Amino acid sequence: MGLSRKEQVFMALLGASGVAGLTALILLLVEAASVLLPANTKFGIVFDAGSSHTSLFLYQWPADKENGTGVVSQALACQVEGPGISSYASDPAQAGESLQGCLEEALVLIPEAQHRKTPTFLGATAGMRLLRQKNSSQAKDIFAAVSQVLGRSPVDFWGAELLTGQDEGAFGWITVNYGLGTLVKYSFTGEWIRPPEETLVGALDMGGASTQITFVPGGPISDKSTQADFRLYGSDYSVYTHSYLCFGRDQMLSRLLVGLVQSHPAALLRHPCYLSGYQTTLALAPLYESPCVDTTPPLGLPQNLTVEGTGNPGACVSAIQELFNFSACQGQEDCAFDGVYQPPVRGQFYPLSTANATVWEFCQRSWKLVEASYPGQDRWLRDYCASGLYILTLLRDGYGFSEETWPSIQFRKQAGGVDIGWTLGYMLNLTGMIPAEAPAQWRAESYSVWVATVVFLVLTLVAVLGAAAVQLFWVQD
């Protein structure tokens, strides 16, 4: 039996109401997606041209928050193939070409229409600082080569520059605290607030050629050359920061080896930091080419040196301590080493390396056992013992961490989803992206208003359709 005229009209109106409601629901979901995932996202690229390798970092942020409290996130971390750009002194053009692979990988993630609007920077650190000391002309040629490659790429290239050690440490401090949300955070009351100062963390950075320490001290900074000032989220910060050139991992290993050669000149060198059973042959001349080494090879030594590991952590620590000038701080208050001023360490610290709590035991293992346990890592394994003991010596004897302050150190590679390093702080600074105080609360408010409006329209439509149905029923009756 078929539906009556009234039932047909009623079902049609009911269907229309359902379609309207479903359409409104779809619109709500679409708008919610556009609120949570803005379509107009901006991007920025930073190359970290370190001493041992170069890395590219791609960052993104909602365009509408450029001058507000926008959240910058890391979209890509790409390690460039090959060594650091300072290694291309004899072939500067190759330094620029080496960047192409990672740049192309980043451009795939950026809408093509935004390529020309994507600010791109290259910051070089201690490796290039050493090369400039050694041969400023070669350093200039390398910067020209990378600038040429990036300048002709489909991005908004803002330049390549040599960062000072102070900038490297300070930008690293911004990155860590930005990532952890210790500079500003969104409260439950819907307001952006400044967390207590004691939640700020310090940053320890171990690179290939230099190492940095940055933190907010407990009192005034006596040596103003070690002070960096920022205004972030409407608040002022003064941090202590210092960079030690030639105290990075790679330069430390070279200086350590040279020191052993100088103190025990012989064709066979017994290295206490290499594991027992390890043996290799090294060219002697390259060890003395770094500006960090200010001595000449002992007379009578062959060009190639045979090095044999003894796996003696006690002797290794003694050799490492010779790299520091602790006596320069005698009689000086608030001094780290080499006569450098440093207030007492304060707060929680995020280093950028990894220290093994059982490094001493590791140093006493045989090379054969370790090599079998970590296949394919021979290139790095031989230096694990020296690196671990060096980091412990630097933190304890150099920077002054004690048994009481040691637990405040955390070894991490990321903070808040971004790689720990200077690149994010650098990008925020150069683009003027460091967020201000104004909150982005309008997003939640405008979204609530939009939802209320849609709901009101849907209810109105349903009411009209319902009234029309009732009216038809009355007319039919």
Helices 249-263 and 313-321: angle between axes, nearest 10 degrees: 100
Identity of residue 2: G
Q: Residue 209's closest CA among 132, 145, 262?
A: 132
33 class by beta-carbon count within 10 Å (0-12 exposed, 13-18 middle, 19+ buried): exposed
For residues 453 and 181, what is the distance between their CA atoms, to the nearest angstrom? 34
**Which residue matches tokens 């600038």?**
147
Kind of pairing between the strands at 304-309 and 268-271: parallel
Q: How many CA atoms lie within 13 A of 119 on its CB side?
A: 17
Q: Residue 128's closest CA among 215, 248, 44, 239?
A: 248
Q: Is 81 labeled as catalytic in the residue annotation?
A: no
Neighbours of 283 (CB within 10 A): 9
Dihedral sign computed on CA atoms, order 178, 180, 183, 185:
positive
| Cβ contact 165:129 at 8 Å | yes
Q: What three-state secondary structure class fits 476?
A: helix
Q: What three-state secondary structure class fits 61?
A: strand
Residue 300, token pair as written in the block: 């009578």
Long-range contacts of 1-9 (CB under 8 A, 24+ apart): 5/476, 6/472, 6/473, 6/476, 9/469, 9/472
How many residues are present in the chain?
Answer: 477
Active-site position among 104, 105, 112, 168:
168
Note the helical H segments in 85-234. 92-97, 100-109, 126-134, 136-151, 165-180
| Cβ contact 259:293 at 8 Å | no
Q: Which residues contact 117 (CB under 8 A, 6 or more apart)?
A: 42, 156
Q: What is the DSSP letter of 330?
A: T
Helix (H) / strand (E) element for 427: namely: helix 423-431
Alpha-carbon distances of 74 from 31, 69, 105, 289, 460, rounded to whole Å: 25, 16, 14, 37, 44
Backbone angles phi, psi at 468, to 5 degrees: -65, -40
Query: For residue 124, what are the β-bridge partners?
Result: 49, 162
- Active-site amino acid positions: 168
